[in-house]
Amino acid sequence: MVITNNSLVQNTTHKVVIPFYAYAALSFLAATVLLFFSGNAFTQHYFHPHTLAITHTMALGWGTMIILGASHQLVPVLIEAKLFSNFLAYTSFVLAAVGIPMLVCSFFHFQMDWIAQTGGILINAAILCFIINIAMSIRKSKSQNVHAVFVITASLWLLTTTIIGLLLLFNFTKSILPEDSLHYLSLHAHIGIVGWFLLLVMGVGSRLIPMFLISKYDNRKELWLIYFLVNGALISFIVLFFSRVDVVLYILPLLAALLALVLFAKYCYKAYRHRIRKQVDEQVKISLLSIAMMLLPVVLLLVLIVLLVFSFADAKLALAYGFSIFFGWMTAIILGMTFKTLPFIIWNKVYHNKAGLGKTPSPKDLFSESVFNKMGIAYLTGFCLFLAGVLLSSVITLQIASVLLLITAVLYNFNVMKMLLHKPLIK
Amino acid sequence: MNEVITNNQEKCDQALAALHHVIDPEIGLNIVDLGLLYQIDFDEGNKMIFISMTLTTQFCPMGDSIRSNAGTAMQHAFPEYTIDIDLVFDPPWSQERISEQGKHFLNRE
């Protein structure tokens, strides 16, 4: 007989997490299919129905869904407490899973009617369920730490983003805001990008990257500084936005965000330097690369602001900026981290009760490393080519790049499905 | 220095040989060379084995599986005993606990 104590936090059941991963994988595929058929949209203004549809598929279906799924698994581990409610997690999934396609289809056909509005309401309800679940889990926890504060703050920014998004949807049909929806687009987008994606990636990444590198590096003070810089940058941006000040002042929040990024990159570099295991696998390498890729949109935004100071609005640069976020660092980190988290979730599901019954495969044996490497090459080539295509307004380059990104999504889905359908090798 | 405290060195060596087959799935190194074991005590009167062990991080998602595998390996090696495994995080695990063989394994580029 084996007796064990309960010092380990009970993992969230795979039944909660897996639907989010599967949905995100299919959304990534859908976004690249849309990209393939909408190459022309990327030679025009960013307020284009197809661009809006692709952006929301990427931001909600791909980025947000996978982060919500991973958060249900990671937050209990970070705060050392059980997830408050599986029911709220399932509800959150169902609401978002129904709401996102309603919104995306409406954007694609640019019909901002009741379907879009219902989709927006469902997405807001999903985020609300997620926040209640995370907040209640944290409330019941004995240990609150900086990573959990990053997650809950990021979740509140996500809710702010989706509420603004909903207001913008209603503003298309009824003038409920002083200006048209296009005016508030940068506010909606930046709260989502900086407050949700950036803050969450930093909070969770600062825990996961040292863990996967087996590094003992930890610097709470630096993480708190990063936290205040990112939030300070975002709040000052919102204040400047409503104050209608000179565009040159937007440099200030941008510099604060840049400083936070540099500090975060330094944090990851130090974790890398202090790692115990010398071998770094491809999944961690692509995640580390994504941190370097965070600097690209900052540089593009800096150029955009400088051009705006001289009253020169460059639509191509604005498109490249958005693309470098959603298909750039955000996608890179998800491509890497999926194969550092999902194999463990599946391994625990399949082999947890088979300890000692025979030789079990390791988690990384559950997906094809060679397919992963091919996916990495297709992704990096496709990303660079697409960016060049946007900047050069070259339709042929955009088409070649979109094929490569479509191949990336197919290979990603192949590996994700291979893991999800994995059958135990021992009985 | 990777030392396991015990009240029975001979049986402890048998236990370590059994636990040598328990691998941390993420790192690929066995839990003995990784230095996850703190104490293995034997109570011959009550046929009990008390194991005090840790994980590389308290956030380890594989913690439960590693502990289960350790329990199964010990049960196979000592079928007549009840195995009591206590996971502790004080003192926390540190890289100094990795054995020379373990360091050699991890230092491969």
Question: What is the CATH number for B69?
Answer: 3.30.300.130
DSSP bridge pairs for B53: B37, B87
In CATH, what number is assigned to the domain containing residue A55? Answer: 1.20.210.10
Q: What is the pLDDT of residue A7?
A: 58
B87 to chain A: which residues are within 8 Å by CB? Answer: 4-5, 7-8
Report yes or no on A289 lying in a domain: yes
CB pair distance less than 8 Å for B65 and A278: no
Judged by average pLDDT, the poorest of A32-36, A77-81, B25-29 is A77-81
Q: Is the pLDDT reported for residue A78 higher than 80?
A: no
Q: What is the pLDDT of residue B17?
A: 93
Q: Is the pLDDT reported for residue A9 higher than 60?
A: no
Q: Does A80 touch chain B (CB under 8 A)?
A: yes
Q: Is the pLDDT reported for residue A99 higher than 90?
A: yes
Count of A–B CB contacts within 8 Å?
99
Its domain, for residue B85, covers 5-89
CB pair distance less than 8 Å for A276 and B58: no
d(CA A254, CA A309): 15
Q: Which helix (H) or strand (E) holds A2?
A: strand A2-4
Name the pairing type of β-strands A2-4 and B82-87.
parallel
For A378-408, how does the pLDDT look when each residue is reduced to its tens digit (9 = 90+)? 999 999 999 999 999 899 999 999 999 999 9
Question: For A130-156, what is the mean pLDDT?
Answer: 87
Report yes or no on A6 lying in a domain: no
Sign of CA dihedral A47, A48, A51, A52: positive
Question: For A135-163, what is the mean pLDDT?
Answer: 88
Q: What is the pLDDT of residue A315?
A: 77
Q: Does A359 touch chain B (CB under 8 A)?
A: no
**Of residues A214, A278, A344, nearest to B62 (C-beta):** A344
Which single residue is written with the structure tokens 């936290």? A227
Q: Is the pLDDT reported for residue A105 higher than 60?
A: yes
CB pair distance less than 8 Å for A7 and B88: yes
d(CA A63, CA A328): 12
Q: Tell me if residue A36 falls in helix, strand or coil.
A: helix
A214 to chain B: which residues are within 8 Å by CB? Answer: 27, 56, 95, 106
Q: What is the pLDDT of residue B108?
A: 66
| Least Cα separation, residue B16 to chain A (angstroms) | 16
Judged by average pLDDT, the poorest of A29-33, A119-123, A299-303 is A299-303
Q: Which one, of A210, A260, A214, A272, lies nearest residue A233 by Cα?
A: A260
Its domain, for residue A392, covers 14-350+362-420
For A256-286, how does the pLDDT look when each residue is reduced to its tens digit (9 = 90+)? 999 999 999 999 999 998 888 788 888 888 8
SS3 content of chain A, % helix, strand, coil (to 5): 80, 0, 20
A43 — pLDDT class (breaks 50, 70, 90): confident
Q: How many CA atoms lie less than 13 Å away from A366 in the CB half-sphere?
A: 28
d(CA A186, CA A46): 11
Query: Cβ(A83)–Cβ(A12) under 8 Å?
Result: yes
CB pair distance less than 8 Å for B74 and A2: yes
Report yes or no on B95 lying in a domain: no
What value does the mean pLDDT of chain A take?
89
Report yes or no on A399 lying in a domain: yes
Judged by average pLDDT, the poorest of A35-49, A52-66, A330-344 is A35-49
d(CA A335, CA A338): 6
CB pair distance less than 8 Å for B69 and A356: yes
Q: What is the pLDDT of residue A372?
A: 96
Report yes or no on A426 lying in a domain: no
Judged by average pLDDT, the poorest of A98-107, A335-344, A356-365, A416-425 is A356-365
SS (H, E, C) B87-100: ECCCCCCCHHHCCH
Q: Is the pLDDT reported for residue A367 higher than 60?
A: yes
Report yes or no on A356 lying in a domain: no
| Residue ranges for chain B with pLDDT beneath 70 | 1-2, 59, 108-109
d(CA A137, CA A82): 7
Report yes or no on A357 lying in a domain: no
Token pair, residue A71, equals 């958060």
The arrangement of strands across the sheet holding B5-6 comes to: A2-4, B82-87, B48-53, B37-43, B5-6
A255 — pLDDT class (breaks 50, 70, 90): very high
Q: What is the pLDDT of residue A356?
A: 59
Report yes or no on A174 lying in a domain: yes
Q: Which helix (H) or strand (E) holds B42?
A: strand B37-43
Which of A3-12, A119-128, A360-369, B58-67 is the most confident on average? Answer: A119-128
For A184-209, how does the pLDDT look when each residue is reduced to its tens digit (9 = 90+)? 999 999 999 999 999 999 998 888 88
Count of domains observed in chain A: 1
**Cα Rg, chain A, nearest whole Å:** 21
Report yes or no on A3 lying in a domain: no
Report yes or no on B75 lying in a domain: yes
d(CA A412, CA B9): 50
Q: What is the pLDDT of residue A407?
A: 98
DSSP bridge pairs for B48: B43, B82
More confident: A37 or A76: A37
More confident: A107 or A47: A107
Q: Which one, of A94, A210, A83, A201, lies nearest residue A151 by Cα?
A: A201
- Residue A61 is classified by DSSP as I
The full DSSP string for A157-168 is HHHHHHHHHHHH
Q: Which helix (H) or strand (E) holds A297?
A: helix A295-309
Question: For A112-122, what is the mean pLDDT?
Answer: 94
Mutate to test the interface with A, among B23, B24, B26 (most CBs of A within 10 A): B26
**Cα Rg, chain B, nearest whole Å:** 13
Q: What is the pLDDT of residue A198?
A: 94
Q: What is the pLDDT of residue A358?
A: 67
DSSP bridge pairs for B51: B40, B85
Count of domains observed in chain B: 1
Q: Does B76 touch chain A (CB under 8 A)?
A: yes
